[in-house]
Amino acid sequence: MDEIHVSIDADKWEYGRTDGGQLTSPLLKSAYAHIEFTDHHELRRVYAIAQEYIEPDHNGQPEFISRGKYIFFQSKEDRDLVETLRLLH
């Protein structure tokens, strides 16, 4: 009987976690595309843009997260799209 092997990406933010499993901005910053903010109002505005234009994954989970003064993205392309839309809005 043939064996079937399936690779599941159960934790899309795995490179941003400490050994204890906590997400931290420094680890996320070194591993994922991101936008840094100094203004909380601007962060909320850009987060809303990301929610509107970036499709969730096949499980309905967003492809980005907000931590502290950053929004982190799974891909550089998504980050670039949101940066462009940010300038246009």
Domain-located, residue 45: yes
pLDDT tens digits, residue range 26-63?
Answer: 999 999 999 999 999 999 999 999 999 999 988 888 99
Number of domains composing the chain: 1
Look up the pTM and report it.
Answer: 0.84
Domain-located, residue 73: yes
Domain-located, residue 80: yes
Domain-located, residue 6: no
Domain-located, residue 67: yes
Domain-located, residue 9: no
Domain-located, residue 4: no
Radius of gyration of the chain (CA): 15
Instruction: Report the amino acid identity of residue 6.
Output: V
b/e per residue 14-32 (b: at least 16 CB within 10 A): eebeeeeeeeeeebbbeeb
What residue numbers bound the domain in which 81 lies?
14-88
Domain-located, residue 34: yes
